[in-house]
Amino acid sequence: VAELSSKDTPISVKPDGVQRRYVGQIIQRFEKRGFKLVGLKMLQASDGLLSQHYRELVKKPFYPNLVDYMTSGPVVAMVWEGLNVVQSSRRMVGPTNPAEAPAGTVRGDLSLHVSRNVVHASDSVEGAEREIKLWFEVVEASAFFWIYVCLT
């Protein structure tokens, strides 16, 4: 696996966002912001993948409900590229609790409840790098471009 750019971040549309048909709207928000979509796949998240993704939450009492939610339907996993994309995407997505998310943010406009908050965004460059490696395999295509290939 090659080095990842700190200009990349994963954004995932969670099962409730997919079920409510928000994938296109969410993609459009990031494109309008000027970010470049460089990876995309739809998958059914496994318990193993989720235990790695949410490793700091595994011992929390709400973890089983989180896994039930995240395995209840498909997830659309994406990688976005751009200047300050991690920080900017966190602001675009809004706080985890939609009741605290301002209008204009993804969660402020589209989410119903803290446990059904439509979208995931990494909270740090280090977290983004770890999550991209978990959800995608990175293959160097040339000296100028990166291609994100689905792991199946």
Residues at the binding site for ATP are 14, 62, 90, 96, 107, 117
Binding-site residue ranges = 14, 62, 90, 96, 107, 117
From the candidates 78, 94, 105, 120, give the one annotated as an active-site residue: 120
Q: Which of 51, 33, 52, 20 is nearest to 93 (CA)?
A: 33
Contacts of 48 (CB under 8 A, 6+ apart): none
Active site residue 53: no
Say if residues 147 and 139 touch (Cβ distance below 8 Å).
yes
Q: Which of 118, 95, 105, 83 is nearest to 9 (CA)?
A: 83
Question: What amino acid positions are annotated as catalytic residues?
Answer: 120
